[in-house]
Chains A and B, each alone.
Chain A
Amino acid sequence: MSPAPRRTPLYERHLELTARMVDFAGWEMPVYYVGINEEHRAVRARAGVFDTSHMGQLEISGNGSTNLLRRALANDVDRIEPGGAQYTFLLNEKGGIVDDLIVYRMEGNRWLLIVNASNVDVDREHLAGLAARGTAVRDRSDEYAMIALQGPLAFDLLTGLWPKRGAAPDAMRPFSWVEQTIAKVPCIVARTGYTGEPGVELLCPAERAPELWDAILAQREHGVVPCGLGARDTLRLEMGFPLHGQDIDAKTTPIEAGLDRFVAPGREFTGSKVIERQLAKGVKRRLVGLRVVDRAIPREGYPILADGEKVGTVTSGTLSPSLDEGIGLGYVPPALAETGTIVQVEIRGRPRDAEVVPTPFYVKQES
């Protein structure tokens, strides 16, 4: 028996909005409120608000905290300015991705890691195993709620809730964060997201989350709508952003996944030997974007074929709401990873032509 799914501080709000709830990573979460396509389009055109409180928060503190993260994370934490954040990986000795996460540099020796919901315990144990005496790894996930506000009107909306003093929210650089009071709720506002649109992710005390959620949704003139995990998934897939547990996991490396730019080699960290070797000698498979013809939809687990032979597997797929065509991510041998290569995806027994395309799949037209 699996334990009863956990609920975020916004659970009652989701029920009031008649969300369709699903079990995701042990959490009872909204998959959609009205419909995935409609929510997806709202984020591309206006603004959407997401409950991402299932995400985990690990705090690393103490004299050895920076050293711990230098050894544990694949990207270089010394490149993070105070007030900055960075996308990075926790790797195992084989270079496999234990988790992908965002690390925030807080004051002094303190760091905050935003990790995937299903990996909180694994990450905490992994980090605690590497921690020297006097370095604390603390799970603060229960104390924080997290709300993502994303879309071209996200900053207009946020400006209406922003105190007069201080720099305007749209002046924030990508991957920077500030402490700010939004609608009387103390928040960490980070200019990050998982949709490819401008926007922020707000961390606030768990018990204050409903106030913040209500204040954002009250900004009706910006056309903001609540969005579920369904739209979150189609939005991230249109950008080619990988999902841990699906496109990347402890058996795939950042180099295989084409995430080289988030790895800082030439340093010693867990898994660095494998990373250096793969950078020098290449990899046996690469994660690529696939676009399928005829509106057929690739799905997780479908075989990828070349000359009738299975050469790989689709790891994520959907009908792209913005492009109205089947898109997916999957691993293929490097010889088949070049843009323009035609492979087949076997969709319920029928091979369908698919073209290897660069990601993001979706690129906003400048008006």
Chain B
Amino acid sequence: MAADESYPEELRYHREHDWVRMEDGEAVFGITWYAQDALGEVVYFEPPAVGARVEADGSYGSLESVKAVSDVIAPLSGTVTAVNDAVTETPELVNDDPYGQGWLIRVALDDVASVDSLLDVAAYQALL
């Protein structure tokens, strides 16, 4: 069942409706509640390869609902260190738990300080 609308305080956000969580010096990327709601029931995740480069504001993969395809935008630049295989197997995790089990990729950032350039929750919610 789809999650209730929420935007956790501890995350940083990108205007294309992506979030970043710092864990052990690496960044975890995912999409926000707003993005998964707009997309509808996610049925397919095409991830990047581990080791691939992702560039800030560029597409790193795609999510598909029954009706639509959406590029997923990297909030920051870096190198992919892990892909969430659980989402590849069970794409609706993105709807069920967008900030938890529905994370998409883990990235070693080029510049850890770049996370400070992202929006905080108040600035992101002001865009919605």
Q: How far is the CA of A297 from the CA of B69 in the complex (A)?
A: 9
Q: How far is the CA of A237 from the CA of B67 in the complex (A)?
A: 12
Q: Which of A31, A297, A318, A321 has the most CB of B within 10 A?
A: A297
Binds A, one of B27-35, B36-44, B48-56, B114-122: B36-44
Cβ-based interface call for A36 (8 A): yes
Which residues does chain B contribute within 8 Å of A299, judged by CB atoms?
69
Count of B interface residues, CB-CB < 8 Å: 12
Counted as pairs of residues, one from A and one from B, with CB atoms less than 8 Å apart, the total is 38
Task: Find out whether the CB atom of A230 lies under 8 angstroms from the CB atom of B64.
Answer: no
Known: A230-B67, A296-B44, A318-B67; 15 extra A-B contacts, CB below 8 A, are A36-B40, A36-B67, A37-B41, A37-B43, A37-B66, A230-B40, A230-B66, A233-B67, A234-B66, A318-B66, A319-B64, A319-B66, A321-B66, A348-B62, A348-B69
What are 11 of the A-B contact pairs (CB < 8 Å)?
A: A20-B40, A32-B40, A35-B2, A35-B41, A36-B40, A36-B67, A37-B41, A37-B66, A295-B44, A318-B66, A319-B66
Task: Find out whether the CB atom of A36 lies under 8 angstroms from the CB atom of B41.
Answer: yes
From 266 to 310 in chain A, residues with beta carbon under 8 angstroms from any chain B beta carbon are: 295-297, 299
Count of A interface residues, CB-CB < 8 Å: 17
From 59 to 104 in chain B, residues with beta carbon under 8 angstroms from any chain A beta carbon are: 62, 64-67, 69
Cβ-based interface call for B46 (8 A): yes
Which residues does chain A contribute within 8 Å of B66, judged by CB atoms?
36-37, 230, 234, 318-319, 321
Query: Interface residues, chain B, CB within 8 Å of chain A?
Result: 2, 40-41, 43-44, 46, 62, 64-67, 69
Query: Interface residues, chain A, CB within 8 Å of chain B?
Result: 20, 31-32, 35-37, 230, 233-234, 295-297, 299, 318-319, 321, 348
Task: Give chain B's interface secondary structure class.
Answer: strand
Which residues does chain B contribute within 8 Å of A295, judged by CB atoms?
44
Which residues does chain B contribute within 8 Å of A234, judged by CB atoms?
66
Task: Find out whether the CB atom of B62 lies under 8 angstroms from the CB atom of A319.
Answer: no
Which residues does chain B contribute within 8 Å of A31, judged by CB atoms?
40, 67
A347: nearest chain-B partner, CB-CB: B46
Which residues does chain B contribute within 8 Å of A297, judged by CB atoms?
43-44, 64, 69
B68: nearest chain-A partner, CB-CB: A299
Q: How far is the CA of A35 from the CA of B62 in the complex (A)?
A: 20
Which residues does chain A contribute within 8 Å of B64, judged by CB atoms?
297, 319
Which residues does chain B contribute within 8 Å of A321, judged by CB atoms?
66
